[in-house]
Amino acid sequence: EVQLVESGGGLVQPGGSLRLSCAASGFTFSSYSMNWVRQAPGKGLGWVSFISSSSNTIYYADSVKGRFTISRDNAKNSLYLQMNNLRAEDTAVYYCAKSRGSWGFDSWGQGTLVTVSS
Amino acid sequence: QSALTQPPSASGSPGQSVTISCTGTSSDIGDYNYVSWYQQHPGKAPKLMIYEVNKRPSGVPNRFSGSKSGNTASLTVSGLQAEDEADYYCSSYAGSALVFGGGTKMTVL
């Protein structure tokens, strides 16, 4: 059974940093591209970032470019999101999501809440 | 990276068919066959219902179907059931990025 478990969320002040992690199991992590998707409270889904299976290709949403960094460690079956210079509008539940190879995300974690507030 | 346009709400009675539209541009839906649809129940993670415009992952009932014409994609739910009441989101690859729709709240009357 595929499992994705996010961690690292919490309360941070504007301008601060946070590192999210996603632990994967139940599939060959190194063979699949991964993504981060966020959802502000009461709002819709927003794609954040993509990383290919070998980390060769990385994409970011314009809203986080230059502030967030996606990475992965295939030896540890883990996905990461380093978030710097956080803003109030980054407040959201952050999900890691597994790509099925065609920009459809067939497995999602339970999400971790990031709150940016003073 | 502009969001795709979905109607905020849709509704139908049990057994009826309901179609949700998702309008994009020639740079996303119109240019790629990478349209997906997700179902999200309150407090839960999204679930993939349709990928590559009209393909269903295993386990998704065949009551759910997808299509695309030009810059607009559609999700049709046939034989509506109570458990279909949820939020539905479309997404499309847009060349080095992914865009989501704003979501449609489906109500089963």
Chain A's closest residue to B36, CA to CA, is A104
Contact B80, B14 (CB under 8 A): yes
- Taking all residues of chain A, what is their mean pLDDT, rounded to a whole number? 97
Q: Which B positions 59-78 lie with beta carbon below 8 A of chain A?
A: none
Smallest CA-to-CA distance from A22 within A9, A4, A10, A46 is with A4
**pLDDT per residue as tens digits for the range A89-102:** 999 999 999 999 78
Q: Which residues of B touch A50 (CB under 8 A)?
A: 98
Closest Cα of chain B to A17: distance in Å?
A: 24
- The CB-side HSE value for A51 (13 A sphere, CA atoms) comes to 20
Residue A117 scores a pLDDT above 80: yes
Q: Give me the pLDDT at residue B2, please.
A: 81
Q: Give me the pLDDT at residue A66, please.
A: 97
**pLDDT per residue as tens digits for the range A44-91:** 999 999 999 999 999 999 999 999 999 999 999 999 999 999 999 999
Chain B's closest residue to A45, CA to CA, is B100
Q: Give φ, ψ of A44 to 5 degrees.
A: -85, 180
The answer to whether the Cβ–Cβ distance between A44 and B96 falls below 8 Å is no
Angle at B37 between CA A63 and CA A79, to 5 degrees: 50
**pLDDT per residue as tens digits for the range B28-74:** 999 999 999 999 999 999 999 999 999 999 999 999 999 999 999 99
Tokens of B10: 């849709």
In order, the DSSP letters of A45-105 are EEEEEEE-TTS--EEE-TTTTTTEEEEEETTTTEEEEEE-S--GGG-EEEEEEEE-SSS-E
- Phi/psi region, residue A3 (left: phi>0; alpha: psi -120 to 50; beta: rest), is beta
Q: Which residues of B touch A35 (CB under 8 A)?
A: 98
